[in-house]
A and B are shown apart, each in its own frame.
Chain A
């Protein structure tokens, strides 16, 4: 059993600011179902740049929920500039500390905050742009370098605790070791970039995909005694699983690429890549 502080337990059992602000000034949407935690943070910011309200929805364990809850408490009443300086260490500290294996929950909080502020300012956070290092959890080199710098990480294990990178198959361990070296030597300065056409959030994407599955794709597959299930959406990668007659069908790959992917690209987003779960 994890050793959670009283503060963590309190924020987990009676979380503050659960929900979603309507017409938010900024939205931060991070994590995914596959990763086991996800956070949607919505902010209401007044004309003086003060965060007057913050709400969250979190899928995850006790420390993920507690981190989200305490984050909303920290930033309410702050100016956007002040909030931009909140670190994951601040979140962990406000909770009286987190077990080291759970530090990634506080990092998720900071990432959501950053994404929400960027959204408010019409910028996109650059972290997701880097080179993908950990395929299991979708973590980029920039995210890792940043964690190494900010939290003074000293080992690959610590990188995993803070960012989850390397926590799956472990194939990226060598690369993590390199980044560890690089991160502790280099001064990191990653500027925010101006927003390109505004991206769809993961949640918007999932919603839209489910809609198309329900209205277009499922009815067609069911005619042949098959079915389809959405397993995960990670960036542009959409993982699905074919069920029923489709599952054993020799042509399942063709069904996915020529039919499902085509439809989703047409009706949701041109850049989607659909893969079958294996």
Chain B
């Protein structure tokens, strides 16, 4: 579709982010000069091993934990699978998993597969959320049982940005001696995390959501937690994950974690202010629009807004003409026929779920870009509504 202007206004940072220039600089030598295998005996490879150590420390610093608790993986999805399957293998007699109805497919599909493939050997409790996307901790408390092998609750939701009380939930699990995993892929770099003080046993993160490259992730495993590897092979990662390291990406992720710590405040002040300006501007200038997700209990960068009676894919393609990038929870964008399971779990009516747009910002966004989006959106929605058979009754 022809782009009207060449500049891209990228507001889809929950999907993926750009590699920070500093990160790219840090990575470069590992493609060209420093290509040794960190497992090799020679100094040439050994130097690379030292760099990975440094990256491990950088990640540990951001999470407030120790380097030996950090395992590099190939992505957030691998980290999620590794944690949950490790718990199930550690406790083969326990057959119950607690999770939520709003997890990313990385956890959601794994749990569905565990139910189906094993012929319901595993029982999965999926905690409900209310209309603002929040969990009911009493329901959670009641679900914890002797049979529970692991709890897996995301730290922040990728679609709405809603943040979950994982600190408290982990404490509750700990009291019952139940392992706790959190998919923190969307939270790391956006909210302060200090694992040293928490009862979280496993935490997943993914490089490409915090300005490191795609295809690298981390699984944090609390010291003393039983661990069964997912990928077996060589003795890389202290025997926790076989496979020659994705060196350059690991170096990049380390640098990205360092940058994230430096920019945490900017993210929570400037980016949040931009998000708020965008959100309030849209809600004000476009009738029959509403926010999805709790107003304050939320990541600073995410705005999920429903424009009633129009369909998300159509909205996105109109935005695309202006090179504005965002996502939608509509059925048509996903290739499935049903709208986002997250919005459905929140009870967002169909009229609104199909027309939901997620804007997710980063430190690279500017106020000028927000103004540009605010200028373009009302006409886009109005033109589609003019076409909608459901609109006239409101209009």
Contacts and interface: CB of A to CB of B under 8 A. Distances in A.
Interface of A: 2, 9, 12-13, 15, 18, 20, 29, 33-40, 57-65, 101-102, 136-137, 160, 164, 167-168, 203, 206-207, 210, 229, 231-232, 241, 277
A61 B313 contact: yes
B350 A40 contact: no
B336 interface: yes
A36 B337 contact: yes
The 6 A-B pairs of least Cβ separation, nearest first, read: A167-B337, A61-B332, A61-B313, A57-B389, A40-B389, A36-B331
Most buried by B among A20, A33, A38, A241: A33
Given A37-B311, A59-B310, A231-B351, A167 B393 contact: no
Nearest to B317: A62
Contacts of B318: 13
Given A12-B317, A62-B317, A231-B349, 11 more contacts: A13-B318, A18-B387, A37-B332, A59-B387, A59-B389, A60-B314, A61-B314, A167-B337, A206-B393, A207-B393, A277-B349
B338 A168 contact: yes
A61 B389 contact: no
A175 B332 CA distance: 25
B354 interface: yes
Contact of B388 (A59, A63, A232): A59
Contacts of B347: 241, 277
A58 B354 CA distance: 14
Contact of B389 (A34, A203, A241): A203
28 contacts: A9-B1, A15-B387, A36-B339, A36-B354, A40-B389, A57-B387, A57-B389, A57-B392, A58-B387, A58-B388, A59-B309, A59-B310, A60-B332, A61-B311, A61-B313, A65-B387, A102-B332, A160-B337, A167-B337, A167-B338, A168-B337, A203-B393, A206-B390, A207-B393, A210-B393, A231-B349, A241-B347, A277-B347
Contacts of A206: 390, 393
B223 interface: no
B321 interface: yes
B343 to A, nearest CB: 12
B389 A36 contact: no
B341 to A, nearest CB: 12
Interface residues of B, number: 31
A61 B336 contact: no
B321 to A, nearest CB: 7
Nearest to B386: A18
B92 interface: no
B164 to A, nearest CB: 22
Given A13-B321, A38-B389, A232-B350, A62 B309 contact: no
Interface in B340-395: 347, 349-351, 354, 386-390, 392-393
A277 B347 CA distance: 8
B151 to A, nearest CB: 25
Contacts of B390: 33, 38, 59, 203, 206
B330 interface: yes
A239 to B, nearest CB: 9
Contacts of A2: 313
A101 B313 CA distance: 14
Contact of B350 (A20, A33, A58): A33
B337 A229 contact: no
Nearest to A29: B389
B350 A34 contact: yes
A233 to B, nearest CB: 10
